[in-house]
Amino acid sequence: MDKLNNQAVLQKITARFGERITIATEPAGLLTFETSKENIVEVLHYLKEDEELQFNFLTDITGIHYPEQALPIGVVYHLHSLTNNIRIRIKVFLEADKPTIASATPLWEGANWMERETYDFFGIIFEGHPNLVRILNVDDMTVFPMRKEYPLEDPNRVDKKDYFFGR
C-alpha cells in the first residue's frame, strides 16, 4: 500500500466537500483546515468512516480563544489515522456569545471528557453531549478561565502586594 500523504488527503477532502473546507495549510507538516459548525459532524464522520482515510483515532479536542476575531472561540480537533499513520487538524470558529457546536460523542466515546474539559475552560456548548458539566474546576465557578479576559491569578488574593512585583 503506498503511503497516503497530506496532498492526497486534502484532495480527497476537497473533492468531497469543496467550498465547505477553507484555509488549508500545513504548519510543521500537519494538514490543517477550517470548516464551519454546520459541517463539522459530516466532516468528522466522513474522515472516520471513509475506507481509504480511516481517521479512526481521536487524538484530542481542545479550544482556543482569539478575542480580536469576529468569530473568537475556536474548537480544534486532532485526528489520527492509525492505518495510514497520518494526522490531521480541523478547526471550527464560533461566536463569542453562547458558542455552540455539535458533539463528537456519537462518533467517539472518548470525546466525552475532552468536550467536558473544553466546555469547562472555554464555555463551548457541545450539543448532544450526554453530560456537559464542569470537570476540572469547581462546580459553582461562573467564568470560563481559559478565555483571555480572565486573569491567571486569583483576583481575591490580598497577600500579594503589587509593589513587591514592580507592578
Sites of contact with other proteins (CB under 8 A):
27-28, 30, 32, 56-60, 62, 64-65, 76, 78, 82, 85, 87, 89, 108-114, 117, 121, 134-138, 145-146, 150-154, 157, 159
For other proteins, the closer CB: 28 or 70: 28
How many CA atoms lie within 13 Å of 50's alpha carbon, on the beta-carbon side?
A: 15
DSSP E strands, the chain: 22-25, 31-35, 57-65, 73-81, 86-94, 100-102, 125-127
34, 89 contact by CB (below 8 A): no
Grid cell locating 21: 473546507
Beta bridge partners of 127: 102
- Alpha helices by DSSP H, listed for the chain, are 6-17, 40-49, 111-122
Of 25 and 38, the one with the shorter C-beta distance to other proteins is: 25
* CB of residue 82 to other proteins, shortest distance in Å: 6
- Decide: residue 46, CB within 10 A, 0-12 exposed, 13-18 middle, 19+ buried: middle
For the bound state, the minimum distance from the C-beta of residue 64 to other proteins, rounded and expressed in Å, comes to 5
Nearest approach in angstroms of CB 15 to other proteins is 25
Between 27 and 166, CB nearer to other proteins: 27
What is the nearest approach in angstroms of other proteins to the Cβ of residue 138?
A: 5
Question: Which one, 157 or 167, has the nearer CB to other proteins?
Answer: 157
Nearest CB to other proteins, comparing residues 100 and 150: 150
Report the amino acid identity of residue 67: P
| Nearest approach, Cβ of residue 145 and other proteins (Å) | 6
The answer to whether 54 and 83 have CB atoms below 8 angstroms apart is: yes
